[in-house]
Structure 1
Amino acid sequence: MVYHLMNSEKQVLDLQPYNYITYKPDYYTFVTAYKYEYHCYFYDFSAAFSEYPELAPKVFGFNLDLVFKPEGLTRVPPDPGIAVTVTNILKTFLSKNENAVIYICDYSDNREKARFYTFTNWFRRFNDGSVVHLKGMIRAGETTILNAMLINRENPLLNDFIEAYEILTGIYTKPDNDYLDNILNDGDW
């Protein structure tokens, strides 16, 4: 799969995903051009959907972990190849299954807004329309948990997943689109 991206000089760059290794149907690893190593994996997220027994076994969480950083490099340089690779892995996982994927932005280091912004923009740029991307937020006390649900547009349970997700996130405080757009446009993180 090849993606086209316009750079600031309006030249078209052909972007291909990094080669990745599939260790199991739900665990992938890849190394970037800058020698950063990432692991992507899916895990059981059924407990959150326990009120929906038909959907629960088909709900997976998703993590992207940076597991190796080259010595001397302190910050990951901008690399659209990471975005292309991750969105490709997610689309492939969703195309073969009647599953839904939940992505929760880690908030342990107060960088959840940056993660939410990055992940959302990856899907704005590289989603070919095959994946429905729902954005959500859950408030737990003073903590705001930013998240997203991804579902293949052709999933026969699409409407059921959307309804369940909206109900579950709505229980804890459903954000309006203005609030989420403000987070995406907040340059203060």
Structure 2
Amino acid sequence: MQPYKFSIVKNNYYEFTTQAGTKYACYFLSYANYFTEYKEIANKIYAFNIDILVKVSKAVIDPRIGYTIVKIIRTFLEGLQNAVVYVCDTSDSQELMRKRKFDAWFRQHDDGTINRLVI
């Protein structure tokens, strides 16, 4: 199974569209301001975000989405020694669903090259 083709729209910002027409944005934001006491690593810590830009009315289970998101994370981390912080949005009470989905993607695509620490 192949990931969807994605484009790098700007630095640390990626977009892709699924076969069903849902358009996603995946981006990394610096978390340096949250780690000011750790100056030696602060500029290497990022938050990872996924937004739906265009949503189709009928949701479809699409395993290629997970492959694509993992590929984007790998592309971002390639050749770097960075940390990515993923925080599940709580604004709509769907954070547990998001955590389960992200956990499933990690388990499915874990090849040992990315270390995961759950706090």
TM-score, shorter chain, exceeding 0.5 = yes
Q: 2:105 aligns with which of 122, 146, 165?
A: 122
Structure 1 position 33 matched with structure 2 position 19: yes
The aligned amino acid for 2:30 is D
The whole-number CA distance in structure 2 between the counterparts of 1:118 and 1:101 is 17
Give the length in aligned residue pairs: 119
Q: Which has the higher contact order (CA 8 A, sep 6+)?
A: 2
> Which residue of the partner structure matches residue 86 of structure 1?
69
Q: Which runs of 4+ in 1 moved over 3 A?
A: none
The whole-number CA distance in structure 1 between the counterparts of 2:116 and 2:7 is 25
> Which residue of the partner structure matches residue 90 of structure 2?
107
The whole-number CA distance in structure 1 between the counterparts of 2:115 and 2:81 is 13
Q: CA deviation at 1:52?
A: 0.6
Whose strand proportion is higher, 1 or 2?
A: 1
The superposition leaves residues 106-161 of structure 1 with CA deviations (integer Å, 9 ceiling, x where unpaired) of 0010010000010011000012211011112xxxxxxxxxxxxxxxxxxxxxxxxx
The whole-number CA distance in structure 2 between the counterparts of 1:111 and 1:67 is 18
Q: CA deviation at 1:96?
A: 2.4
The aligned amino acid for 1:98 is Q
Pairs within 5 Å for 1:12-161:
15-70=1-56, 73-74=57-58, 76-136=59-119
The whole-number CA distance in structure 2 between the counterparts of 1:102 and 1:19 is 24
Percent identical pairs in the alignment equals: 39
- Is 1:17–1:88's contact at 8 Å kept on the other side of the alignment? yes
Q: TM-score, normalised by structure 1?
A: 0.61
Q: CA deviation at 1:33?
A: 0.9
- Is 1:91–1:130's contact at 8 Å kept on the other side of the alignment? no
Q: Which runs of 5+ in 2 are unaligned?
A: none
Q: Which runs of 5+ in 1 are unaligned?
A: 1-14, 137-189
